[in-house]
Structure 1
């Protein structure tokens, strides 16, 4: 029996590839809201990040989210993302 493919995504901070379900998806929707998408199915432009505080810090420092979403992200959005990521950290 043929084995099902596991979708791979790349972390925007550390550039490591991993299974889609092991990464956290951050979404920018049409209204410009940026939020963590636990389902991985929300409409909008998505960027994936490892489930670690170090990767989030690296993404903030290197402005990886700014490049992924092609816009300047305010500091309060980064603070909100940091709080939301703490819920999902292993």
Structure 2
């Protein structure tokens, strides 16, 4: 079980998307969960990314400030995630 940094709900790891900060400082979405570096988890929902941005949850998780272009890149990558019809 992992906790979404946006909505703070506990969910199985397979239901969440890992956001990773590589040792070089590059931040990206890790769909396979295998990239090296510090990870934080988000629901596959743009609203959770927006909540994480507003509360600075990802910045706290990575102990670093994220520039606007990183947020824009994460938002663009999140839009490409297929949404499950529930």
TM-score, scaled relative to structure 2: 0.93
Which whole-Å deviations, capped at 9, do the CAs of 1:14-61 have from their partners, x for residues lacking one? 110001011000000110000000111110000000110110100011
Q: Is the 8 A contact 1:36 1:84 kept in 2?
A: yes
> Partner residue of 1:28?
21
> Partner residue of 1:79?
72
Unaligned runs of 5+ residues in structure 1 are 1-7
Matched residue count: 83
> Partner residue of 2:39?
46
Shift of residue 89, structure 1, vs aligned partner = 4.0
TM-score, scaled relative to structure 1: 0.89
**Over 2 Å off, 4+ runs:** none
Q: CA RMSD in A?
A: 0.7
Larger Rg: 1 or 2? 1
Q: Separation in 1 of the partners of 2:82 and 2:74?
A: 12
